[in-house]
Amino acid sequence: MKFTIDRKYFYTQLSIVSRAISSFSPLPALSGICIEVDQDHIVLTGSDSNISIRTYIYKGEENQLQIESTGSIVLESRYLLEIIHKIESTMVELEVMDFELVRITSTNGKFNLNGMEAGQYPNIDFDQPTHSIQLSRDTLSQIVSQTAFACSENDQRPVLSGVNFAAKDGYLYCSGTDSYRLARKTIALQAESNFNITIPSKSLQEVVRSLSEEIDAVQLYIDSKKAQFVFGKTIFQTRLLDGTFPSVEKIIPTSSVASMVVDAHELASVIDRTNFIRNDKVHLVKLECSPEIVRIKTNSTEIGSSDEVLTDCIYKGDHLTLTCNGSYILDAIRALNGSKVDLEFSGDMRPIRILNPEDDSIVIVIVPVRSYD
């Protein structure tokens, strides 16, 4: 195996497949990148057995790829990336000197890197599922940024650590919840589709990080066990989460007793200023709402208290006093990404809908907490 390639291009492709590699690999070979060189292209594969990424490099002007001989090798991901990243050379050459030793040559010098035979790398099934939908890069990025933050971070209910993708009646409903809050994004589909799967939020975030500006659309292929995101010459494959995702329709309130439209920056600033005032490491804020005035208060016997009035705010409906997790409200404001925020209250200790008045495709629901002060 011997080839020469543009160093920056090669590093970019290595970085993509390395996203699938864990520092706690179940098999020694999975800590490495499998490099397979054919007559006219190179295949790079990385995996941790849950996420697998494969990308193809074909000869072209951008990569200046020249293949002298074919072959394959597995090289430790972190060492290979560090060498390719720090070499000060436009081009780089990789050559297998014997069965497990690779020489990396640049303009200024040479590195010898021990690897292992490609036969020790697990056989990963990259067969493409038959069912698919297409999403634009921006749409997929919005789905992830507006739902993944609400997913659970503990392992007690694994299905809650992912985003549920449910397609029906011409729409794709993407939902993330940790049982205390919910974020749902609704997308109109170009073609009728019907499925219900849950994809790990970590996998989705890595997919989005792998998308370059040149990518316009992503093809999503799914079956009962896995999901494949195909973009450019890259296949990003992830296992699905087992278990039944909660019926979120029952969580979203359908009526309200009061509503508040407030400047998003002001609300975020008021809450963020009190982030250090916590009870048992939880940032609780109390909303005292009436048509005349809306106050946001915090209190901690150990740290102190605050009391601020919202100025750019319109409140309509019943007088309400609610205590919420301030971090949840901040996360919601960031995800909605609008100049205004609409809070719809369904009653005392009832879920609150948080909306962007200019974008009805996203709804966020948070559950108030009981306060004893």
Torsion of Cα atoms, 115 then 202 then 153 then 122, to 10°:
-40
Burial class (CB in 10 A: 0-12, 13-18, 19+), 127: exposed
Residue with tokens 């992503």: 218
Long-range contacts of 222-227 (CB under 8 A, 24+ apart): 222/129, 222/131, 222/132, 222/165, 222/195, 222/197, 223/129, 223/130, 223/131, 226/129, 227/129, 227/197, 227/199, 227/203
Residue 131 CB: number of other CB atoms within 10 A?
14
Beta-strand pair 234-239/51-58? antiparallel
Residue 177 CB: number of other CB atoms within 10 A?
22
Taking the C-alpha atoms of residue 195 and residue 240, their distance in angstroms, rounded to an integer, is 13
The per-residue pLDDT for 249 is 86
Taking the C-alpha atoms of residue 21 and residue 207, their distance in angstroms, rounded to an integer, is 13
Number of residues that make up the chain: 373
Provide the residue type at 139 as one letter.
T
The per-residue pLDDT for 372 is 58
Q: What pLDDT, in 10s, does the model give residues 107-118? A: 888 999 999 999
227 — phi, psi (to 5°)? -130, 140
The per-residue pLDDT for 373 is 60
Burial class (CB in 10 A: 0-12, 13-18, 19+), 137: middle
Taking the C-alpha atoms of residue 186 and residue 165, their distance in angstroms, rounded to an integer, is 10
Q: How high is the mean pLDDT in each 10-residue block of the chain (373 residues)? A: 96 96 85 96 95 95 93 95 94 92 92 94 93 95 97 89 95 95 95 92 95 93 95 96 91 93 97 91 94 94 93 95 95 96 94 96 94 64
Q: How wide is the angle at C-alpha 31 spanned by C-alphas 27 and 33, nearest 5°?
A: 120
Residue with tokens 């999901």: 227
Q: What pLDDT, in 10s, does the model give residues 14-68? A: 999 999 998 887 788 999 999 999 999 999 999 998 999 999 999 988 899 999 9
